[in-house]
Structure formats: C-alpha cells, structure tokens
Amino acid sequence: MRRLYLLLPLVSLSAARAQAPPPTPGPPHTILVRGTAEQELEPDKLDLLLTYRFSDNVKESGRTQEQEQGVQQVLKQAGIAPEKLVLEDLSASGYGGFSKTANANVALVKVYRLTLNNPKVLNDLIPRLVQTGADNLRVVNLQSAQLEATQLAVAGRAAANARQKAQTAVKLAGGQPAGVVAMVEMLPHVPGPD
C-alpha cells in the first residue's frame, strides 16, 4: 500500500475578509491529508527454497539420493528444466556419542533453490514437493517486470485520493485549495531482506 501525504495551503474566500485590510504576509494556512492506494501485483518470477533434513546412519541409507531423484522426477513432470534446481546450502553434523570417528549417525540438512519463471505452477507443485520429503518450503525473491510501472500508477492514484480529500475538507471550511506545499511518500514496512 502506498500512502501519499499532501500539504495544501488554504485560500479563504470569505466576504468579511475581502473588506478588511490585507493581512501581513505570514505562513499559509495548511491542511495535511493522506491519500492511499494499493494494487496487488502477480510476480512473473520467484525462487522457492526447499529444505530437507535427515538424521540417519549414512553408511546404510540412500535416502538423500532417493529424495533428490524424487525432486528431479517432480520437476520433469511439471516441465521445469533440471538446471532451475541448485543446491543452495548443505550442512552436516555428527551426533550420538563421544567417538565421532566410529559413529556413522549424521544430521544432514540440504537446502535447494528452485527458480520458477511461471509462478502459476506453484499451487500444483508444492504438494508434490512436500511428498518428496521436503520439511520446509519458502518463497523468496519475488520479481515482476511490471513493478516500476505499477508503483507509478499507484502513487498517482494515492495523490489523486489525497487531493480529493483536501478539496472536500477545504470546501467544508469555506475555502479553496491552492498548490501543494509538500508531498511525502510513505512506503509500507517490508520485514526481512526478501
């Protein structure tokens, strides 16, 4: 949501003031109004982070290879090129006793980044990826080629909304709005780097 603050001077048209001597110049009377406008924008590209966690005896388990083959099969069925999936992060740690050299138990975490140029497949894709064993899926890095044009259009609608509110308030006060004294754009707070 975009918010636009406009500060407009008030010009009084009362007949009593027209007959009085002109006042000494001073700061203009102002009114502060806030215009708002919002619009949803569908991304045309996004990244999906898939996290897989394993706690296995790695000497006896091929789970990580099976899981990766399952993910590749899901992508193939969805028509997504295999190079769109990359290993983003891998961490492993031993546990279960004092001797890590003799112990084969490992906690393994793999994070993949899947780039989607067609986010509309996401609703169908998510359940299938969860069925491959994904513990966590997170959408990041949403992008749209229409972002700048949409921001300008929304800012224009917010300014028009503010001007309409100012005109209504000034009319009720018996005056007319003059030019804009100041304009400040307030963007919504977006938490996190993504």
Q: What's the one-letter identity of residue 143?
A: Q
Q: What's the confidence (pLDDT) of residue 194?
A: 47
Cβ-contact 111, 86 below 8 angstroms: no
Q: What's the confidence (pLDDT) of residue 86?
A: 93
Residues 57 and 131 in one domain: yes
Domain count of the fold of the chain? 2
Q: What's the confidence (pLDDT) of residue 101?
A: 57
Residues 53 and 133 in one domain: yes
pLDDT tens digits for 95-111? 655 555 555 677 788 89
Cβ-contact 62, 69 below 8 angstroms: no
| pLDDT < 70 regions, the chain | 1-28, 56-61, 95-104, 188-194
Residue-range definition of the domain harbouring residue 177: 2-40+146-186
Rounded to whole angstroms, the Cα distance separating 161 from 32 reads: 13
Rounded to whole angstroms, the Cα distance separating 190 from 67 reads: 34
Q: What's the confidence (pLDDT) of residue 90?
A: 87
Question: Can you give the pTM of this predicted structure?
Answer: 0.59
Q: What's the confidence (pLDDT) of residue 88?
A: 92
Residues 66 and 135 in one domain: yes
> Who contacts 187 (Cβ-Cβ below 8 Å, separation ≥6)?
2, 3
Residues 79 and 58 in one domain: yes
Q: What's the confidence (pLDDT) of residue 39?
A: 85
Q: What's the confidence (pLDDT) of residue 147?
A: 85
Residues 172 and 103 in one domain: no
Rounded to whole angstroms, the Cα distance separating 35 from 25 reads: 30
